[in-house]
Amino acid sequence: MRVLEEIEAEMRALGIWDAKAGTFEHWLQHHLSEPGLYDRAHEEWVKWGPEEDAPKNLLVLLRRLDRLREFHPQVERFGFYKTSESAEVGGGLQCVHGRTLEKQFRAAEVCRIVWQIEMRHEKRERMLEMVLDWTTVNAADRKRFGSGTLREILPGTWTEMAFAASWGWDEPGHWPMGRYETTVSYWGEPIATGEFEIV
């Protein structure tokens, strides 16, 4: 997982990757495969001083690692469709499982393009915070075209879910022609990538 590389880099930057045997930092380096590291690290570091003195970036990374180990969604479908509305219903975009997804859109007709992801997962004992980051880039020069973050609390009883987000304009004719690539990440780990084309 990418987050493990980030944890190592952060610990090296803090000078604790090669901590002496018997220290918590040494234990942490050799137990990154265990669950519950965020809570243990937070308790360990805060007991020695004010919370603001704890390594915040490292704690954030450990929290990400715990979330990734706790929840493993399986992506069933990922794709795109067009809409003229920034919000199709009162709460936002309407995620319809099995809706028609497309890969090509006419510049003269399209206002907003929506990515939609459909996932399946196991039941959990408790609610879970779901954080999805997304980025759309121009496939030719890799320049960022749009990005955002979705945060939801999932009930433990859910076994499937869908998310969607849009980017574009209120009127058609503004999308530059070309290919675009969208990547969706769960707590910083890419879980779906797809392309669409404006013609």
| Residue 90, pLDDT score | 44
| Residue 105, pLDDT score | 97
Residue 102 is classified by DSSP as B
Task: Over range 10-30, report the average pLDDT.
Answer: 92
| Residue 198, pLDDT score | 96
Element (H, E) at 195: strand 189-198
User: Hey, what are 134's tokens?
Assistant: 């997304």
| Residue 97, pLDDT score | 79
Residue 131: exposure state from Cβ atoms within 10 A (0-12, 13-18, ≥19): middle
Residue 23 and residue 33: Cα distance in Å, rounded?
18
pTM of the shown model: 0.74
Q: How far is CA 134 from CA 12, 40, 106, 109, 166, in A?
A: 28, 30, 23, 24, 10
- Give the tens place of pLDDT for each residue, 132-172: 999 999 999 999 999 999 888 888 888 888 889 888 998 99
Q: Does residue 9 have a pLDDT over 70?
A: yes
Residue 30 and residue 25: Cα distance in Å, rounded?
9
Q: Which domains does the chain have, with CATH numbers?
A: 2-70 (no CATH), 74-198 (2.60.40.10)
What would you measure as the largest C-alpha separation in the chain, in angstroms? 66
Tokens 């090296």 -> residue? 12
3-class secondary-structure state, position 64 = helix
- Give the tens place of pLDDT for each residue, 88-128: 444 456 678 788 999 999 999 999 999 999 998 888 777 87
Which of the two residues, 9 and 72, has the higher pLDDT score? 9
Contact 88, 130 (CB under 8 A): no
Contact 111, 84 (CB under 8 A): yes
